């Protein structure tokens, strides 16, 4: 990338006050080389026009968030989810996203092992659709506190085993917020060599203010972010590094200002 800010990328979820078109232009103005987008924010322009707009602005689409939510209580809803995931692949292809991020869960019942098998089956099926479309699928190991309501994939070794159980086109995305606590993080990332499709950053606030909307601005929390990126890079990954912060205080701020703050904090705590 030739962006002034180098590998630094913004995830749209950090600056929700802007429309997607505004976010793309804003990132370009601020010197960001890439942006991660969310499916529910693609209307009204649609993936085709947004992709063209980003291309013109010189901003890469580092990710499309998100597919997954594979498990279902019955066959009808399972088919609906599979169809929606194929649409997500189509959108990722059309917009030119570097990966489609997948939330792998939650389980439909208390049987966590069964939920994990269901995820593996649905992922293999989706990968067969995504491969010819040229869309890399990124399994996101999520923090274990989301095991009940979001993702049954909660560790990097587990995500990696799942991704590697499927032939081609499936990798993992490493998010500091989800993975920082792992006592075996160094070994886990070393084992992920060649399989990392993307990196996301947020800091961990202590104590956590909220299970879902408590992510911290870079530098405000407990994570050694510089070490985290070094471990991610040691896998051979050298692509964009998205900053994705779910936090009402960040959401309420002026997006222009947030882009500036993130760039400053990134230089100070990560790069």
| Footprint on this chain of a copy of itself (rule: CB under 8 A) | 106-107, 110-112, 116, 143-145, 147-149, 153-155, 158, 180-183, 204-212, 214, 221-224
Q: Which two tokens stand for residue 21?
A: 């078109």
Q: How far is the CB of 246 from a copy of itself (least distance, A)?
A: 13
**Cβ-based nearer residue to a copy of itself, 66 or 143:** 143
**Cβ-based nearer residue to a copy of itself, 107 or 130:** 107
Q: How far is the CB of 78 from a copy of itself (least distance, A)?
A: 20
Q: How far is the CB of 201 from a copy of itself (least distance, A)?
A: 14
**Cβ-based nearer residue to a copy of itself, 37 or 152:** 152
Q: How far is the CB of 269 from a copy of itself (least distance, A)?
A: 10
Q: How far is the CB of 67 from a copy of itself (least distance, A)?
A: 20
**Cβ-based nearer residue to a copy of itself, 110 or 194:** 110
**Cβ-based nearer residue to a copy of itself, 132 or 181:** 181
3-state secondary structure the chain: CCCCCCCEEEEHHHCCCCCHHHHHHHHHHHCCCEEEEEHHHCCCCHHHHHHHHHHHHCCEEEEEEEEECCCCCCHHHHHHHHHHHHHHHHHHHHHCCCCEEEECCCCCCCCHHHHHHHHHHHHHHHHHHHHHHCCCEEECCCCHHHCCCCCCCCCHHHHHHHHHCCCCCEEEEEEHHHHCCCCCHHHHHHHCCCCEEEEEECEECCCCCCCCCCEECCCCCCCCHHHHHHHHHCCCCCCCEEECCCCHHHHHCCHHHHHHHHHHHHHHHCC
Q: How far is the CB of 174 from a copy of itself (least distance, A)?
A: 15
162 pairs with which residues across the strands?
Answer: none
Cα-only R_g, the chain: 17
**Cβ-based nearer residue to a copy of itself, 55 or 164:** 164
**Cβ-based nearer residue to a copy of itself, 29 or 226:** 226
Q: How far is the CB of 158 from a copy of itself (least distance, A)?
A: 5
Phi-psi sector, 105: left (phi>0), alpha (psi -120 to 50), beta: left
């Amino acid at each position: 990338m030739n962006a002034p800010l180098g590998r630094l990328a913004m995830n749209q979820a950090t600056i929700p006050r802007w429309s997607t078109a505004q976010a793309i232009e804003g990132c370009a103005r601020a010197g960001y080389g890439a942006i991660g987008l969310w499916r529910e924010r693609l209307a009204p322009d649609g993936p085709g026009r947004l992709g063209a707009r980003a291309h013109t602005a010189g901003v890469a689409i580092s990710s499309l968030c998100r597919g997954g939510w594979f498990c279902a209580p019955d066959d009808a809803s399972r088919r609906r989810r599979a169809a929606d995931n194929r649409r997500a692949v189509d959108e990722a292809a059309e917009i030119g996203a570097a990966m489609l991020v997948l939330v792998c869960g939650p389980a439909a019942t208390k049987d966590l092992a069964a939920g994990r098998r269901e995820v593996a089956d649905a992922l293999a099926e989706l990968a067969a659709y995504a491969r010819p479309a040229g869309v890399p699928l990124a399994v996101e190991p999520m923090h274990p506190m989301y095991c009940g309501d979001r993702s049954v994939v909660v560790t990097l070794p587990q995500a990696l085993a799942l991704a590697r159980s499927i032939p081609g086109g499936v990798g993992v995305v490493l998010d500091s917020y989800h993975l920082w606590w792992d006592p075996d993080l160094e070994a886990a990332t070393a084992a992920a060599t060649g399989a990392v499709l993307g990196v996301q950053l947020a800091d961990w606030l202590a104590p956590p203010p909220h299970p879902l909307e408590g992510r911290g601005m870079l530098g405000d929390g407990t994570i050694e972010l510089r070490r985290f990126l070094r471990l991610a890079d040691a896998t051979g990954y050298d692509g964009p590094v998205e900053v994705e912060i779910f936090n009402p205080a960040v959401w309420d701020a002026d997006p222009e200002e947030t882009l500036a703050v993130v760039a400053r904090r990134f230089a100070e705590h990560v790069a």
